[in-house]
Structure 1
């Protein structure tokens, strides 16, 4: 049953109208966003040795990354990458707060792109607020239509490029618009387009404040020496408006904050940083730029809102090198080194010997004992490789089948072979043998695997 108290306890979300702001931190955020956005847009188009440089082919269970092919057996490499990313995030967060969220998180980058489109089509913050309150008209419908069509086009482009990391991108665009793309490719493009449109166009700060788990567990990494966007209440309080030429405002009990609320207007999550550290803050620095601009106009020192620490505001020395930060750094160094060793020692091929499951052995017309095997070789590089096959352990056994095979880059080959042996040469019923696979062009690449030869007596 509906309870009116529930509505009061959980009020409806108020739309946040973000005001445009200029300044050092926003300029830095835009440049960093452009760099990583450009990387996202361009990387799937790069070619390496005649192949797409980055292609995460889930269907074929092969990840092609700049000449290196990762298979399910190479899951440890992907695990190392995830662990490195996690500890890098922990390290940066402990030192400088949620700067990842404010500067590089895709949710933040695409949200600001969508807000930029709003500003260009519908006008400034005040114009957008007025437009939403005005009754529907031809002008309002036109502006809203252009805004949402632009959002959808950006979302479609984003989705196509994202899906292009998982399917050959040179064919994806043509096949999608011509209707020749596969069913799952069409579904994925439409799904991620809707997600991008919904997240950056409608949900925005809800993703940061209610859905993203990072906002919830970040407090475990913060301490009193973490640099975060902070309001200096000792300097700013009490707040209040005053004339720009009023030099005696402190005698009236006023601080440097003129209560202009610009720090709230420019905040993408709609918080008031003057109320203290809040988990919704994404450390984007927009409020710093807005406040510095106001302080500059008033003739006051900048830095009323700044990246600082709790100890710094209390007049205590800041401990940059502290156990938690050093611990994260050491772990990051160790896992990065382990990742490097894993890559360095990785052999660009893999060998697997599969015995014939139908029978242990068979007797030929010549009275020989024959065992059948399948030599499965995975070429983990993206270049064609020629392998030479051999075995040891049975000097008098005869090899039946190919002994040299060429495998295309990122491909797998199963070579059926048989070993035949005169029963008189079998010293026991089961004999140990070893197969060798050597790269013809690089003798250092040699794989070995043991197996059994069943002599039948």
Structure 2
């Protein structure tokens, strides 16, 4: 007799198919005012002035901030960086990462709510939506209305503003790589090369799609920061939270009614905190990864509390310890550790930048010949010397070679004169009597020094090759 494993059907009788992907519900944030809204406006104004204004600044006869990729020169006001200085960018990105870690541990996602480009441009696009289509209820009604002349006109005006903002954003960004004072007129006269046109179009569409159409979806599904923020948080991190001890139980009531007599908390369940949220969440459900820390719900709730003559702060910047009635510890090991590392790295970065030489020197051996015998029996090596004057003024330099006192360098001029930001490449012959060669491969060092300032100097090492010793 065979034994069978008994099988029991546990499928619910009323089981229904569940879709893996929920349809996106369009969010129509409501307008609001308040303290944090004003702070955001000031911050956005400063960032816009910095982003759009810096591209138009001049420094002498060139753009103040210009990343000239064809010339492989990166100008930042008085400083000019070369590809060999690229490590500074990596250093700067590491500093920014630790700065973000520090801010996140201390104050949660304030970067997302106030300064993230996705958030800032989304607010600008929502403002254009409000101007052209009306307030929240009017936009919801317009979405449901059939397409007619009024809807077409409003939608066309909205998308026109979106495209103009996107184009200006793209031109400014590309203007940091191509001189913007030439780029703008060339764009509108269509006197622009193919690659520049491609990147202007690319960044225009990227801004238009991300800030206009995707919006919160970028934060939910494309940005990794919202996903790993919980690793950075602790119970002393500032977060935006609803106080359930004070707010529950929720319920509507008339102004002047004592909520305690009705068995209610301070939350009147007006849902204003939900209506103003750009990501469409209900902050009363607790801390959620979709929350970007913009404090829109704080301003909206405080306004309702003022109208009801209740104390502000039902929704506020607080900590989990504070919500549970415990003491918040602002200075804690993780925060102090990030802060100390940030200060150290910023100091090292500043010291590295200030110590960069204003001249660079590169030496390469002539690959056509290893060495040759010159007149008089001397051994001669040929080098290709590349000099770059990184300062903003013309300078004369002296070139020398070290490695043996009897080394002789054949250079047409004792002084090398270079204009500001000028490259110079030239061959240099170096000779040595074979009797002074200790090996077939000797180290030598080339040094270049500014005539007017001995502190402006650079060195480069190479090898002096000779015949096999007898």
Name the TM-score, length of structure 2 as normaliser.
0.92
Q: Is the 8 A contact 1:402 1:417 kept in 2?
A: no
Q: Is the 8 A contact 1:57 1:167 kept in 2?
A: yes
Return 172-181 or 276-285, whichever deviates more.
172-181
C-alpha spacing 1:231/1:381, structure 2 compared with 1 (3 Å) = same
1:254 and 2:258 equivalent? no
Partner of 2:231: 220
C-alpha spacing 1:432/1:91, structure 2 compared with 1 (3 Å) = closer
Distance 2:132 2:65 in 1: 36
Gaps of 5+ in 1: none
Q: Is the 8 A contact 2:246 2:265 kept in 1?
A: yes
- Specify which structure has the bigger relative contact order, considering alpha-carbon pairs within 8 angstroms and separated by 6 or more residues: 1
Q: Is the 8 A contact 2:30 2:135 kept in 1?
A: yes
The 5 A counterparts of 1:341-360 are 341-360=351-370
Deviation digits for residues 299-335 of structure 1, max 9, x if unmatched? 1111000000111111111100011111110111111
1:318 and 2:328 equivalent? yes
Partner of 1:53: 64
Distance 2:409 2:254 in 1: 101
Distance 1:394 1:358 in 2: 27
Distance 1:152 1:396 in 2: 66
Matching residue within 325, 336, 343 for 1:333: 343
Matching residue within 184, 198, 202 for 2:195: 184
Question: In structure 2, the residue corresponding to 1:250 is in which secondary structure?
Answer: coil
Matching residue within 215, 231, 235 for 2:242: 231
Give, in angstroms, the shift of residue 32 of structure 1.
Answer: 0.4
C-alpha spacing 1:254/1:423, structure 2 compared with 1 (3 Å) = closer
Give, in angstroms, the shift of residue 346 of structure 1.
Answer: 1.6
1:198 and 2:197 equivalent? no
1:281 and 2:287 equivalent? no
Deviation digits for residues 5-43 of structure 1, max 9, x if unmatched? 353x42210000010000000010111011011110001
C-alpha spacing 1:288/1:412, structure 2 compared with 1 (3 Å) = same
Distance 2:115 2:340 in 1: 24
More helix by share: 1
Question: In structure 2, the residue corresponding to 1:435 is in which secondary structure?
Answer: strand
1:5 and 2:23 equivalent? no
1:404 and 2:415 equivalent? yes
Question: In structure 1, the residue corresponding to 2:130 is in which secondary structure?
Answer: helix
Give, in angstroms, the shift of residue 428 of structure 1.
Answer: 6.1
Distance 2:141 2:268 in 1: 25
1:436 and 2:447 equivalent? yes
Number of residue pairs the alignment of both structures matches: 452
Distance 1:279 1:450 in 2: 54
The 5 A counterparts of 1:122-137 are 122-137=133-148
Q: Is the 8 A contact 1:377 1:413 kept in 2?
A: yes
Name the TM-score, length of structure 1 as normaliser.
0.94
The 5 A counterparts of 1:22-421 are 22-247=33-258, 249-364=259-374, 367-392=377-402, 393-395=404-406, 397=408, 399-421=410-432
Q: Is the 8 A contact 2:386 2:425 kept in 1?
A: yes
Give, in angstroms, the shift of residue 396 of structure 1.
Answer: 6.5
C-alpha spacing 1:162/1:396, structure 2 compared with 1 (3 Å) = closer
Give, in angstroms, the shift of residue 364 of structure 1.
Answer: 4.0
Give, in angstroms, the shift of residue 411 of structure 1.
Answer: 3.8
Deviation digits for residues 263-296 of structure 1, max 9, x if unmatched? 0000000000000000111111110010000010
Return 275-284 or 443-452, whichever deviates more.
443-452
C-alpha spacing 1:427/1:343, structure 2 compared with 1 (3 Å) = closer
Q: Is the 8 A contact 1:386 1:406 kept in 2?
A: yes
Deviation digits for residues 47-76 of structure 1, max 9, x if unmatched? 113221111223333221112122221122
